Structure 1
Amino acid sequence: MKKLIVALLASAAAISAAQAQTTTAPRAYVGVGIATADHEDSYSGLSSFNSDGYKASGKIYGGYEINPMWAVEAGYTDFRKSNFNYSSAATTINGDTKGYGYYLAAKASAPINDQFSVYGKLGVQHSQRELRSVAYNLKDDDTGAYGALGLQYNINQQVALTAEYERYGKSKDFGAKADVWTVGAHYAF
């Protein structure tokens, strides 16, 4: 993931001579991203609990810019499979968690200059986490609020790079946490 971030930043720096033009709305856009959420869990009463920490996963999204300030966006993030093991009494148990989240949100953008803008998103999300082991088989569905804050760099009129913090509902008891960091790129039509 660090290599991808460095590559995205290097690409942005190499193309910085190309100034972003004024966008013409309305228009649609699609994008992909790399999202990471903490998979670290700990439970009281269990000793030697070990689980994966932050894991990179994929995100796809698309939206429709109503005007340069307002847009509507939908997206899907796969939180990937994460392994864990723990000791309870004299037994060691292995298992895994997996999950996903999707959202529909309104997006408000404010330009900093011709190339950079900040944005916020507010909407509704649905996410699911599953925990599977020999001892447990749990499922947690959550439908609730979605929010995000981000920074966008416009390479040109069609291509932009983004970095954002997203919140998928309430805190989770297992699996990927609700706080997600994402870097991505999108193309506007």
Structure 2
Amino acid sequence: MKKFQLKPLRALCLLSLAGLSTFSALTAHAQAEGHYYGGIGMGQARSKIDVDRINANLLSANPSMTTTSMTRDESDAAYKVFGGYQFSPYWGVEAGYFNLGQFGFKSTTNPTGSLDGRIKLDGVNLDLVGTLPINNQLSLLGRVGVHNARARDTFTGTGNVVILDPNPQKTQTNYKAGFGFAYQFSPSMALRGELERYRINDAVGNKGDINVASLSLVFPFGRTPEPAPKVVERVVYQQAPTPEPIIIVAPPAPAPTPVPAPVPVPAPKPERLRVSFNADVLFGFDNANMRLGGKEALNKFTQELKGVEYDHITVEGHTDRIGQAAYNEKLSLQRAEAVKNYLVNTSGLSAAKITTVGKGSSAPATAEGECKGIKTSAAVIACLQPDRRVDIDVTGSRPAAR
């Protein structure tokens, strides 16, 4: 027959107790965060009950019988409802109700017969739960505790199998342990995943373990709200404001009496003066030598120029048509240069403002057809006298009288 081994369960309990001792030491300086919580969990339970021993004990009343075959039903759905109080972030206490489902077996015997056995398990528990936070949401769990389980057995036999007590029941206190994790979704809900082992004594005096893997939803409540931060009133001493200076606005100074603008003196209008001198008076016949009478005529002309602000003076020399054109042009330029030199040397006129031009016989004063006859005759020479001349053209302005 199979013999149950207790060593793994003892090792699990010792590890859980060591973990809880560590958690308790950590909480010595931890700030309390007391709150209640409740929850519900569901999972899968698997039995490690020594059904071979149970079967042998039941058949002991029939020593001539032997078991020829056996089938086992060692798993079932389990659930639990629990509530607890979390003393600190590291440990708390929890109580609850659990239902581990039912398990069973069926064996056939020789002589012909059969034996069926079923066991139902439920009860209440009280655990010390330790928590080791990994971060703000994930924590590791460890628990040890005691439970009071009720075992209700049902046995039926057929053929030559005789059952002395078909419905034995037993309630007994034993220990339990487990470990797992918790994930905090929000301050009001968390998820647990756990592996737990329940030590069970059945109704016919046999011992075994029920291992449960479960997922639970946990709902914390009754948390103490964090106190609002104290507002420390701070007195700020402010320096008295400096009085603003008084600004005295002086009355505006009287506006100065406007001085009448001077009446603008009209700019002098430009004037043009053109004077024609008889070349026979200025020069001898067929030369550019200045005569005394010519000098007197020019002196009188310069007296008339006094007070005139001239811009430019043009001196033009002219001849009659007697003689060659090239010769006449050269002679007329020489006479214009002679007049210019006299004006500059005797009257102080600026040479830069005087231009000389020799036009020869190209601009006669007499009309075409006048002075007919032999060119060298005295009558023709006298008739052509207006062509022999020097014209002085002055451009300037005379200041207005004040």
* Partner in structure 1 of residue 325 of structure 2: none
Listed as ranges, the gaps of 5+ residues in structure 1 are 1-23
8 A Cα contact 2:195 2:213, kept in partner: yes
Matches of 2:127 and 2:92 in 1, distance apart?
9
Deviations 1:50-100 (A, max 9, x none): 232321121111111111112110121112234532112211233422111
* Partner in structure 2 of residue 162 of structure 1: 192
* Partner in structure 2 of residue 138 of structure 1: 168
> Relative to structure 1, is the Cα distance of residues 175 and 57 closer, same or farther in structure 2, using a 3 angstrom cutoff?
farther
Matches of 2:107 and 2:170 in 1, distance apart?
20
Tell me, yes or no, if structure 1 residue 127 matches structure 2 residue 157: no
Tell me, yes or no, if structure 1 residue 101 matches structure 2 residue 123: yes
* Partner in structure 1 of residue 220 of structure 2: 188
> Relative to structure 1, is the Cα distance of residues 46 and 126 closer, same or farther in structure 2, using a 3 angstrom cutoff?
farther
Tell me, yes or no, if structure 1 residue 92 matches structure 2 residue 114: yes
Identity %: 26
Structure with higher RCO (Cα < 8 A, 6+ apart): 1
8 A Cα contact 1:36 1:56, kept in partner: yes
* Partner in structure 2 of residue 111 of structure 1: 133
For these two proteins, the number of residue pairs brought into alignment is: 166
| Structure 1 counterpart of 2:149, one-letter code | S
* Partner in structure 1 of residue 45 of structure 2: 37
Deviations 1:21-41 (A, max 9, x none): xxx821111111113222475
State which drifts further: 63-72 or 49-58: 49-58
Q: From 18, 24, 35, give the equivalent of 1:27.
A: 35
| Structure 1 counterpart of 2:41, one-letter code | G
8 A Cα contact 2:126 2:147, kept in partner: yes
| Structure 1 counterpart of 2:217, one-letter code | A
Q: CA RMSD in A?
A: 2.5
Q: Larger % of helix: which?
A: 2
Q: Larger % of strand: which?
A: 1
Q: Mark the structure with the bigger radius of gyration.
A: 2
